[in-house]
Structure formats: C-alpha cells, structure tokens
Chains A and B, each alone.
Chain A
C-alpha cells in the first residue's frame, strides 16, 4: 500500500517538478535553479546518463534544483555563450574539441571561446568491430590488408569521437606502410543503427561501435547475419582496469583488456600507441564568475571524496575521472594538441 501511495504521489507531483532533482537549501552562489545543457539530443545516450548521475549529486550537495536538458551541441554552445551568470552550464565530452579539430560547423575552439570545467567520468566503451565471419582476426590483419593494397571500409559517424579511432588507424598505416593509408576508407554513417546496418549489408569491413551497444552482438552465433567481434577498444588499459570485474554483459573486464593497448597496437607516432578515452567534462561561459567555478570544483571534490558517486558511475559502466577545472583544462589542451598532430599528418 505504501508503494502504491508512493506511486500515486509520484504521478501527481506535476510535470515541472519531475525534471528537477534536489531542493534542500544550502549556501551557494549558484542560482536556485541550475540548468545543465548537454551536447547530445538523446536522453538515452551516455552523455545524458552521465550528466544525470552528476546532476543528482550536485543538487544534493549544493541544495539547488538541477535540470538536465538534452539540447544538442550547437544549441548547447549557443546557450552557454549567451548566459554568463551561472544559471546554465554545459556537459559534453571530447567531441567539444574534436568537432573543432575536424572543422565541423557549429564548433568553435572550446579553449578560447568557453571555459573548461571539471571532468567527471570516462566512457571506456569506444570500440571497433568486424563481422564474426570476417577474414580479419585483429587490427594487425586489417592494417596488413591495407598494406597489401586491399581497401578496408570503416563505418563511422564523421567529425568527432566516432572518427578519431579511424583517423588514428589511418595515421598508423601511414607510419608503418607509407602511402597505403588511402586503403582505409571511411563509410560515413549516422547512428549506431546505421553503422551496424552497413555491416549487415556487407558495405563495411569494420565499424565503430561501443561495448555497451554491441556486446550482445558479439555473443550471437557466427551464422547469424548480425554477429560481430570486437577487435579494438580505444580506451587506455589503465581505464579498463578500473571497470568492475564483471565488465559488460558476458564480457568480463579481463576479456575487454584483450582488445586494448598494449594487446592491440595502433601506433601514434612510431614510439607510443594511440589511445582514446571518451571523457566527460563541464564547459562554462568564458566570463562566468571564478567564485562559481571554484564552488563547483569544491562541491565535486567533496562528492568524489565521499565515494558514493563512483559506485553509481561504475554500475553504469562509467569510470570515475574527477579533475578540477584548472587541471582539466591543461589536460584537455594537451590531449587535443596530440590529436591535432594526428589529423595534421593526414591532411
């Protein structure tokens, strides 16, 4: 009966109250209603999921209402460009600067146009897969095929996170087999569904996917048209090692490590391997009050020190990754500079 009453109360609490979390009062310079816009339009994706976890913790810590709005990259950037009083901040991931590096419309240089805020988590699932029946067993064979002059088609979403692994692979072929990088051919697709379909249709030899979205496909029998195999996870092995031992679905952490550096080698510059962690961080209006930035850093420092948020993040296959604003800015500048070199090499 209690549960029923709870359900009725939930249903009755009204549409607007539904979207906000946390209402207790506390001392804060943030407005009572904080809006976090995200760079994705999906409320079913990792950006929303990660932001929802952080928003809930922040609401409780700061005693304010925090609302997450899935407005997408362009609208999100325009919004934080306009609002400097701290009532709207943005959560996004490496796409924020990769979009700029790839010259995608609607993306400015985030290091000059906005202010980089604290980082909070990594999605370690960025993956590359082949069909289970594919003749290619691993990344080495895919690169060898290119070296032999065979075209290898890769389904990606162009202009960002989905493309960076493809660019790195092309760069590695350029270093190891100069002149053959043209054999790695991008097949531009949109959603994960489109990339999968490219494989089902036999139009792609390799697709960009994720551990979360594609793990079940890797467990299908080989004679199933939909069956796939992981060949590469771009995450650092140190990142995967922080995941829960059970990994995702039936694929344990140990099994995942077989697809990461150093087990899989994609050279970045001939001396070290390329890795890519998809990391989530805040972006602010560049004129936002330093006091607010410090307050957010402090709140997150305390939230992560308490240790509860890490459990929630790991349960959802995120790797906790808190860095205060100043540290995060320096880190992402360096990361972007490294990828800029790779993309520059391919021009």
Chain B
C-alpha cells in the first residue's frame, strides 16, 4: 500500500485541473483529447511521474468526455469519437431536451469510464495477450462490422452506400503512408495538390466542416429566425432528466462500455470505430430502432458509454505491451519516456506503485468529470438560448481556430474545413447522406490498410474466412448485423405501406 503516499493533495488537484482543461479542449470543435495531452505534456517536466500522469489522465478523460457537449448542443462532434453522439443528441436538443441529453451522456460516460477502468485493473495483462491474437485480418473484420452501421443509418440504402463509398474514396486521398507499412506513394490527386494533400485530408476539419459549417450554411439559407423564445418554451415543456431513463438501458450500457474497452485495447483501431460499433449494435438490438437517429436517448447512451469505455481499454496495450491503444495514449507514452520509465510487458510488475496510483487517478478523473459536468451542465445547456446571430459567428470562429490548430498551424486545414462545409451543404441538396459519408471517411483508411496488409501477409482472400475462430465469430456478427438491418428496413417499409393504405 506504499502507493498511498503518492496520493497527496497535489495529485487530486492536478486530476481536477486536467479534467477541467480536458473538458474545455473536448468541447471546442477541433480541439481533441490528444491535443490537450500533447499541449500539456511539457508541463509534466516540472512534475514527478505520478503527478505528471495525474494531470495527463485528467486531460485524457476530460478531453474524451468534453466532445459530447458540442455534439449534443450544436451538432458538431467535439472529438471524432463523439460522431455518433450527434445522431440522437442533437435531435434531442432540437426537441428542447438538450440538458436531458447531456445528463444521459454524462452518466453513460461515467459508466463506460468506470467499467473500462475496472476491466483494466482486473485483466490488463490477460487482455493484452488476447489483443495480440488480432492480426490485420481480424482488425479488418472489426472495421467491416462497424461499417455495417451504414446499412441501418441510411435513409435511402442506395444513396447511403454511395455516400459511404465517397467517404472511403476521400479517405484514400494522400499517401499510402510508410508509417502504416505502405509504399509511400501518393494517389488520387493531381501533382499540384501533393504539397497540401501529402497526408490526405485531416479528419477533424472534415468532420467539423460537414457537420458544423454545413449546418450553419443551411440555417443561413433558411434565414435566421430568432427561435430562442420557442426554445425557451420547448425547454420548459421538455422531459426532465431522470435516472429512470436508464431502466431499460442496462444491457446497452454494459454492451457499449465493453465494446469501447475492447476496441480500445486493439492498437490502431481507434475510438471512432468503438462508438460507431456500439451505436450499430444498439440499433440492431433496440426494440424501437425506428426512433434512433431521431432523438432516442439509447443512441446517446451507446455512443458515450463506448467512447469513454475506450479510455481504460486503450491503456491496456500501453501498460501491458508498451504499445499505445489510440492517438491519445500515444502521446501519454511521452510522459513515461520523458521520465525515463520503460513501458512494456513487465511494466505493471516492476512498477506496482505507479500502476496502483494510475488506477486511482483514472477512477478520480472519471468522478471529477462526472461532478464537474453534471452540475455545470444546466448552465452549459443554455447555449441553445443564445441568439443564432451571435452563436453562429462564434462557432465559426471556434471551428476555424480549431482546424488551424489541429496540426500545429496548417492553413490548408482551414480550407479543408470550408471546402467540406460547402460540400456538405451541397451534398444534402442532391441526396448524399452525410452520416454514412463520414463513417466511410473515418473507417475507410483503416479498412484499406488492414485489407491490403492481410492479403500481403497471407496471399489469399480465403484467409478472411479461415484465419482463426475469432474471424469466424466476426463474420457471424457481420451477418447478424446486416440481417437485422435488412429485417428492420423491410419492417419499416411494411409499416409505412400499411399507414399509407
């Protein structure tokens, strides 16, 4: 119990400060948990390892959680992993249930975070051994499973698939990077674009453009009608938050939390896949799938429990293999190296006190996130009351600043933001669906790498079916997911025909 001596007042102050700063970063479109940790990393030089980690863990949990605020209130995913939170969170806000949606999201985030911390604490080395059973083949199948959400998300299946293909195509623009084992060649661009698109389009400017800027342009087209009095009435008459909303969500919470943790522990797969996968599964198993995407709390629950479940999950390979599970833990590893501490398969055994201190830190960061957000949310939710002629210019400014800052000051990212903003606005006019397009964009690059590398490694397409029992299980899940989507679509079609008749 020597680690208790590490837990001084400063430790908890740093966790609280980190969580607060992280929430702010996550809540500003374009700023992410990764950026929060990277920006504050130099601060840890002045601290010892445990105090440095306290600050960074707070930033990590806060940063991941903060993304839910703009996702729900403004329809802009604050972080890529809160993309699916917009699907139901924003419609809830439009119904005047912004505060309720935020509270549902925060409680789900807390549950996901605590569940993953418990899994990390209890099974880290065991799960790390399981994680290495996932080679390129299994990772490709996981991405394929996440992509099946497109079938259930699309309003029109054909247009949805086309939109997803456009998203995948956009994701492939740039270099087939040697950093993922590629040949470093550029593709899908003209020579004059090479300087700007060497690394392809940056994810966050694309997301913010398609969601935030496009939405503002649509509103501008309609003309700005002051709706805050309507919104005031809606807020008054809306359903208040009650924990009873979780009565039927226990399975959803646990499943999504575990999915987040599981995806988190697979290096390279990433947080967006976790929330997309959790959302897909909830839609498949929901009693009222037709309500999802229109303001159903279960959609928010799935997305947020999964993306916070990621926090503990991504720490599993970091602390048990020395391999970061996601982009944020890749920065976190810097805190260890800067302090001269090796992370690898023997880290936990050789640094028991640091390990226990980190576990307390993770727990405290989740609780701090909950307390800070749950009680501040009443005021934050009032952002929807701000007149649009004031709110939208502020959002635009934040989007531009965020896009510029994401890669340490690259102007092309601002052009990307505007390009995709206008593109998103025009796309909706011709029936292109933004949600499948974005999911295609997020997952397309990984799908390509895992697919090509699987073929390079094994030389045959049959390997996707025969590689391992895990692959077979994943195919079954894919078949079930697609089957459910078709069944639901035909059910909805029948219901519509009956109503029309």
Question: Chain A interface (Cβ within 8 Å of chain B)?
Answer: 1, 3-4, 6-8, 10-12, 15, 18-19, 21, 37, 42-46, 48-49, 52, 56, 68-72, 74-75, 78, 104-106, 157-160, 187-194, 196-198, 200-201, 203, 212-217, 219-220, 224-226, 248-249, 315-317
Contact = CB atoms under 8 A, between A and B. Distances in A.
Contacts of B18: 11
A72 B178 contact: no
B100 interface: no
Interface of B: 8-10, 13-14, 17-18, 20-21, 38-43, 45-47, 51, 55, 129, 132, 135, 175, 177-186, 194-195, 198-199, 267-268, 317, 321-324, 330-334, 337-338, 340, 342, 344-347, 407-410, 449, 453, 456-457
A200 B45 contact: no
Contacts of B337: 44-46, 49, 212, 316
Contact of B184 (A78, A104, A196, A212): A104
8 contacts: A3-B9, A7-B14, A10-B17, A21-B42, A71-B408, A157-B179, A216-B346, A226-B132
Nearest to B330: A44
A203 B455 CA distance: 12
A203 B181 CA distance: 14
B40 A18 contact: yes
B178 A159 contact: yes
Given A43-B331, A71-B407, A212-B337, A201 B184 contact: no
Contacts of B10: 3-4, 6-7
B179 A190 contact: yes
A317 B337 CA distance: 10
Contacts of B321: 193, 196, 226
Please provide the 9 A-B residue pairs with the shortest distance between their CB atoms, ordered closest to farther. A216-B344, A11-B17, A44-B333, A44-B334, A190-B180, A69-B408, A190-B181, A193-B323, A7-B10
Given A3-B10, A4-B10, A158 B184 contact: yes
Nearest to B324: A44
Contacts of A42: 330-331, 334
Given A15-B39, A43-B38, A216-B322, A193 B199 contact: no
B345 A216 contact: yes
Contacts of A11: 13-14, 17-18, 20-21, 55
Contacts of A7: 10, 13-14, 17, 51
A188 B332 contact: no
Given A6-B10, A7-B10, A10-B46, A52 B323 contact: no
A187 B181 CA distance: 9
Contacts of A157: 178-179, 181
B346 A220 contact: yes
Given A7-B14, A43-B38, A216-B322, A159 B184 contact: yes
B12 to A, nearest CB: 9
Contact of A191 (B55, B179, B345): B179
Given A7-B14, A75-B407, A43 B334 contact: yes
Given A44-B332, A158-B178, A18 B42 contact: yes
Contacts of A69: 408-409
A106 B268 CA distance: 24
Given A160-B178, A193-B317, A212-B337, 8 more contacts: A3-B10, A15-B39, A71-B407, A105-B185, A201-B457, A217-B344, A226-B132, A249-B342
A10 B344 contact: no
A196 B402 CA distance: 35
B186 A49 contact: no
Nearest to A315: B340
A56 B338 CA distance: 13
Given A6-B10, A44-B334, A157-B178, A201 B135 contact: yes
A72 B340 contact: no
